[in-house]
Structure 1
Amino acid sequence: MITLGCRLNLAESETIRGLVGAEDMVVINGCGVTNEAMRQTRVAVRRARRDRPGAEIVVTGCASEMDRTGFAAMPEVDRVVPNAAKLLPATWGAFPNRKPARRHARAFLAVQNGCDHACTFCAIPSGRGPSRSEPIGRIVAAAADLVAEGAREIVLTGVDLTSYEGGLGALVEAVLVGVPALPRLRLSSLDTIEIDDRLFDLITGEPRVMPHVHLSLQAGDDLILKRMKRRHLRAEAVAMVGRLKAKRDIAVGADLIAGFPTEDAAAFANTLALLDDCDIVQAHVFPFSPRAGTPAARMPQVAPASAKARAAQLRAAASERRQAWLAAQIGTEHRIVVEKPGDRGHAENFAEVRLADAAWPDQAAKALPADATALSATTSGTIGAIRSVRITGAAPDHLIGISA
């Protein structure tokens, strides 16, 4: 199983993994969010054929949905499965001896799919279709099953998660009440304009909901936001982050696009400043990628070289902020869910923490105080355990810790 793209794809891949029992099959669940993602999906297909020359290569996901003819014509591809069919047992019915899916300490649970909005840059609705939500009862039952199978943290995912029918807050509350054995619940990308009071109160006041939000911001300039057909203005996003952080120490991540059509230096500066104004410590930055058939592809374009340069500038500034945030956590304590391969996990604020005895020994040696004893191999990381960890060091993209 090869997965590209979003957390929803990760969740769907786990389901597919449990439906496919053939040893001689490789399924590529591809991403179509950008032209680069489409290219990477094709690269993954070719690599899979080189690595597994005798296997059946099956392609699914948004990439193949957006260009089914193109993927079907690739000589490496044996079959293309539509997005609408990829989770149906009948799609994989030729393989009755199915193996159970391999579960993880952190599990992704898809609760919503598709999108009814029409952001001018986005081609995902053509790959995912209109918004639709899984029933609450089915989600609660699935969450209970995941916990019974060893999940200690569940991440609720969707294309447009905050558009969940009936309210995302109601769903979060139902999962927390219906699955009392679930220690940690995390939410994937949120739209700030749809964080209502019920959801706000759960994010800021419920300890089982992790103090971490990833926001679909995209830009920090009002004119660009309007041309993107986003539903919020800059001040509204900044205000929501301020409200959240006033109630709880919450880590903020965000999606940002550089070089959107008509973006000038001043508009880009407003997006760059959003890193500070929203205290963003984990940014996913994309240079604008014009998708055929979208309104943004017909707008006056920023030169690709300029878009890439601005994206690089955004990434550098975001990396500097992240490194400062990680360094500031040295000396603090966090609780992590130990994940595969057993020497690392994620803190509640979603910072990756690596245990000093098992990973990055050179950095660990520098990070440990003189009188500290590294964790033994047997205590460092039973996968699925929730451990208290004292942070002793920080690398550019993760923290280093020892048992608290």
Structure 2
Amino acid sequence: MTLEVVSLGCRLNLSESESLRGLLAASDNLTVINSCAVTAEAVRQTRQAIRRARKARPDARLLVTGCAAEVEREALSAMPEVDGLVANAAKLDPRVWNVPPSPVAPHQGHTRAFVDVQNGCDHACTFCVIPQGRGPSRSRSVQQVIADVALHLESGAREVVLTGVDLTSWGGDLPDGPRLGSLVRATLDAFPTLERLRLSSLDGIEIDTQLFELLAGEPRVMPHVHLSLQSGDDMILKRMKRRHARADAIRLVENLRARRPDIAIGADLIAGFPTEDAAMHAANLSIIKELDVVHGHVFPYSLRPGTPAARMPQVAPAVIKARAAELRAAVAAQRSRWLASLVGTPLKVLAERDGTGHAENFARVRLPDDAQVSHWLTITPRAVIEGMLA
């Protein structure tokens, strides 16, 4: 093996890692760690991945890029296993790697393709270091996105996922300030045979009218919305400097469900944000049931030096851990009820290599033994319950 790319963190990193594999395919004896810094745990995992990679390939040149390469630059560069750092903003520039510019071919054989359409963030959430690692919001043009989607479809992808750090801010820096809904519409129009288009995390308060209509009524846009919610308590949301209130999230989901009753809701939630008391935690718990969150990402609050939240009164680590466990249990309960409700319902599932597949609502199911990758299956699965994967 001459090249290994290790990806940590978000879907955008996964997409960028695929591009790196294509860009550096001819590289000799190189390991690249595409790192994450969203939490202290993510940084710990990055350091662990670096040590593991060095042990596995002691003679390879080991370079680190990604958010941790920006936020934790001094600490990572001091690690004896690391040969160098590559700026996150420049990691897809062929000149940085001293390779010739060429179209980056997507990885063959993947049924789901991640296409990055936006990078960076202009917001200043008090807990977040991602703007330090990714820089300001930058949008790719419609033409660039369409070209990438075409490459993935030609390589066999059957589903496309549009990703970004702050996906719903796409277009704000482009001429005339188009909104994300227009990009989704343009992608669907450009590829009439594309059966599945999915979106990564959305900031609900930024969902434009056209995007809402597509989420609510376009069959090729999957009935699955993952919200960057972070909390169900209004005071905590204010202290986070989020731009929505609890009522905004409830109204959005109610309006989507009124038009598309089968839509599945996901959400990011933070446990134990500074100043969070028992009542605020209870509001966080209750939003899970109120929105019927069935795809939940729960993050214990992680103090990130240099952020405003780091200067706020902190919640005890043991309390944070316990609250995160309660949030995860609440999501698991909603998810179990939801999966039980799907038993006996035909689901259109896209087969994946590991013997599982995702339905349109992102329910993950174990497939029959004779299922083939890239084949659509319409099944009525008790396996949705018996073989479900969290």
8 A contact 1:221–1:270 mirrored in 2: yes
Task: Report the CA distance shift for 1:35/1:178 in structure 2 as closer, same or farther (over 3 A).
Answer: same
| Counterpart in the other structure of 1:385 | 375
- Structure 2: state its 5+ residue gaps: 172-177
| Counterpart in the other structure of 2:348 | 335
Q: What are the within-5 Å matches in structure 2 for residues 41-60 of structure 1?
A: 41-60=46-65
Equivalent position SS for 1:54: coil
Q: Does 1:258 align with 2:271?
A: yes
TM-score between the two structures when normalised by the length of structure 1: 0.90
Partners of 1:394 and 1:97 in 2: how far apart? Answer: 43
1:50-108 Cα shifts (integer Å, max 9, x gaps): 11112111111001111112111111111211111111112222589999542311000
Equivalent residue for 1:268, pick from 278, 281, 284: 281
Equivalent position SS for 1:391: coil
| Counterpart in the other structure of 1:12 | 16
Amino acid at match of 1:45: I
8 A contact 1:115–1:159 mirrored in 2: yes
1:243-295 Cα shifts (integer Å, max 9, x gaps): 11111110000000010011000000000000011110011001111110100
Displacement of 1:398 in angstroms is: 1.9
Q: Which moved more, 1:23-32 or 1:301-310?
A: 23-32
| Counterpart in the other structure of 1:366 | none
Equivalent residue for 2:309, pick from 292, 296, 303: 296
Amino acid at match of 1:214: H
8 A contact 1:217–1:256 mirrored in 2: yes
Partners of 1:311 and 1:176 in 2: how far apart? Answer: 38
Equivalent residue for 2:133, pick from 112, 127, 140: 127
8 A contact 1:327–1:393 mirrored in 2: no
List 4+ stretches of structure 1 deviating above 6 A. Answer: 95-99
8 A contact 1:22–1:95 mirrored in 2: no
1:284-342 Cα shifts (integer Å, max 9, x gaps): 0011111101000000111111011100111111112112211221111111111224x
| Counterpart in the other structure of 1:234 | 246
CA RMSD in angstroms comes to: 1.7
Partners of 2:362 and 2:238 in 1: how far apart? Answer: 31
Q: Does 1:159 align with 2:172?
A: no
Equivalent position SS for 1:243: helix
Partners of 2:118 and 2:101 in 1: how far apart? Answer: 28
Partners of 1:396 and 1:155 in 2: how far apart? Answer: 27
Q: Does 1:109 align with 2:115?
A: yes
Displacement of 1:396 in angstroms is: 7.2
Q: Does 1:211 align with 2:215?
A: no
Equivalent position SS for 1:116: coil
Partners of 1:63 and 1:396 in 2: how far apart? Answer: 39
Q: Which moved more, 1:263-272 or 1:318-327?
A: 318-327
Task: Report the CA distance shift for 1:291/1:255 in structure 2 as closer, same or farther (over 3 A).
Answer: same
Amino acid at match of 1:190: L
Task: Report the CA distance shift for 1:139/1:96 in structure 2 as closer, same or farther (over 3 A).
Answer: closer
| Counterpart in the other structure of 1:281 | 294
- Structure 1: state its 5+ residue gaps: 358-376, 400-404
Aligned residue pairs, count: 376
Q: Does 1:247 align with 2:259?
A: yes
Amino acid at match of 2:381: I
8 A contact 1:147–1:181 mirrored in 2: no
Partners of 2:244 and 2:101 in 1: how far apart? Answer: 48
Q: Does 1:184 align with 2:196?
A: yes
Q: Which moved more, 1:345-354 or 1:87-96?
A: 87-96
| Counterpart in the other structure of 2:175 | none
Displacement of 1:356 in angstroms is: 3.0
Equivalent position SS for 1:300: coil
Identity %: 58
Displacement of 1:112 in angstroms is: 0.3
1:187-222 Cα shifts (integer Å, max 9, x gaps): 000011011211110011110000001000000010
Partners of 2:102 and 2:160 in 1: how far apart? Answer: 28
